[in-house]
């Protein structure tokens, strides 16, 4: 059995486009030539890879299996190119990262900025995704690295690298009746109107699931795009919010808000990096993982305070 790299790349293009014509266009081939190559690949495997109809193509079960392997193979090919291009052109590489709302909005931009500034040949595609989509993306090879918060079930195709702890807290105005409390349960907060992040954000979906488990409804007064908007709404007395402590404390310095601990066990969430195989990452990927792990250690956070206080505050491990 023999596989051509261009054929595997073509197969991925067709699968992602759900169209033979679209896949052929991405591969710079005619539709007829693409069709012949796909049929040849199916012949070698002895399996049908696509269902074909007038609307386009759809992967068969065998096609889904091949897509996982094909993506892994193509990533390894790209990694090899990246590794050896360093000798001729200096360090280079490309990483795709799927991350949750907190990571994308809070600490990852600062981490990536300090990482990229000294690596002009490295490019990064950072995308916000839901936790299940992040895990699925790492498993099926559609992303190099995932950043999640909360428990991750062990999986034979995942390496889980914890790097810090993130705690959710209740954010209120300083004159709110809850502001005098040291701690409060999540179910108690459901008596008040909440200010949440937009529909589809990781944190919003997580809190929605928690409220459903209590048999109650999360009363959303307004949903906003970012954490700063949520804190500003709270400071004006629109409602309360549940946010990561590191973010709330950042805005508490200049807004009229207070933070109250959540008593629920799930409020403390371990942040983790997830990869399919650490040793298979390109050099720049390994360096980024190590950078995040080192910066989140108490010693590194202390050293970072003078040079970049915002970054240290964002990614430090909470006591």
> Which residues, in sequence order, are CB contacts of 49 under 8 Å at separation 6+?
11, 38, 41, 42, 59, 60, 62, 63, 66
Assign 96 to helix, strand or coil.
strand
Per-residue pLDDT for 19 more than 60? yes
Question: CB atoms < 10 A from the CB of 232, how many?
Answer: 17
DSSP state of 180: G
Residues of the chain with CATH 3.40.190.10: 90-164+269-315, 167-267
Superfamily of domain 167-267: Periplasmic binding protein-like II (3.40.190.10)
How far apart, in whole angstroms, are the C-alpha atoms of residue 233 and residue 218?
A: 17
Please give the class, per CATH, of domain 90-164+269-315.
alpha beta
DSSP state of 196: E
The CATH number of domain 5-72 is 3.40.190.10: no
Per-residue pLDDT for 100 more than 70? yes
Q: Are 314 and 107 in contact (CB under 8 A)?
A: yes
- Ranking 61-75, 98-112, 291-305 by mean pLDDT, the lowest is 291-305
Kindly indicate the confidence band of residue 106, based on its pLDDT and cuts at 50, 70 and 90.
Answer: confident
Q: Are 193 and 221 in contact (CB under 8 A)?
A: yes
- 124-to-115, 131, 212, 269, 294 alpha-carbon distances in Å: 10, 20, 36, 26, 20
Q: Which residues pair with 272 in a beta bridge?
A: 148, 162
pLDDT at 60: 93
Average pLDDT, the chain: 85
Q: For residue 267, give the nearest of 245, 290, 295 by alpha carbon.
A: 245
Q: Are 100 and 134 in contact (CB under 8 A)?
A: yes
Instruction: Please measure the distance between the N-terminal and C-terminal CA atoms of the chain and give it in whole angstroms.
Output: 56
pLDDT at 126: 94
Q: What is the pLDDT averaged over residues 253-275?
A: 93
Q: What is the pLDDT averaged over residues 277-281?
A: 86
- 129-to-96, 97, 112, 263 alpha-carbon distances in Å: 12, 10, 17, 27
How far apart, in whole angstroms, are the C-alpha atoms of residue 177 and residue 300?
A: 38
Virtual CA dihedral for 299, 303, 308, 310, nearest 10 degrees? 30
Measure CA 226 to chain center. 16
pTM over 0.85: no
Kindly indicate the confidence band of residue 251, based on its pLDDT and cuts at 50, 70 and 90.
Answer: very high
Per-residue pLDDT for 231 more than 80? yes
């Amino acid at each position: 059995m023999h596989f051509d790299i261009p054929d595997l790349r073509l197969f991925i293009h067709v699968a992602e486009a759900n169209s033979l014509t679209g896949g052929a266009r991405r591969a710079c081939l005619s539709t007829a030539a693409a069709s012949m190559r796909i049929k040849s690949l199916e012949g070698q495997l002895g399996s049908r890879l696509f269902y074909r109809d007038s609307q386009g193509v759809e992967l068969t079960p065998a096609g889904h299996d091949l897509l996982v392997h094909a993506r892994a193979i193509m990533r390894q090919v790209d990694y090899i190119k990246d590794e050896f291009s360093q000798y001729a052109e200096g360090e280079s590489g490309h990483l795709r990262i799927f991350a949750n709302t907190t990571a994308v909005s809070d600490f990852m931009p600062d981490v990536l900025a300090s990482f990229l500034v000294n690596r002009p040949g490295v490019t990064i595609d950072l995308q916000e995704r839901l936790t299940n989509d992040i895990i699925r993306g790492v498993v099926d090879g559609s992303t190099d690295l995932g950043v999640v918060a909360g428990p991750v079930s062990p999986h034979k195709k995942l390496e889980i690298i914890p790097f810090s702890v993130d705690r959710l807290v209740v954010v209120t105005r300083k004159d709110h009746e809850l502001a005098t409390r040291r701690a409060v349960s999540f179910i108690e907060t459901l008596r008040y109107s909440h200010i949440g992040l937009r529909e589809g954000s990781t944190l919003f979906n997580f809190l929605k699931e928690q409220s459903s488990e209590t048999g109650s409804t999360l009363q959303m007064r307004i949903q906003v795009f970012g954490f700063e908007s949520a804190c500003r709404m709270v400071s004006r007395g629109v409602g309360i919010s549940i946010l990561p402590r590191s973010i709330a404390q950042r805005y508490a310095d200049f807004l009229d808000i207070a933070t109250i601990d959540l008593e629920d066990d799930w409020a403390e969430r371990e942040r983790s990096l997830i990869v399919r195989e650490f040793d298979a990452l390109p050099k720049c990927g390994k360096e980024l993982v190590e950078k995040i792990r080192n910066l989140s250690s108490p010693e590194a956070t202390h050293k970072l305070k003078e040079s970049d206080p915002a970054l240290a505050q964002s990614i430090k491990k909470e006591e």
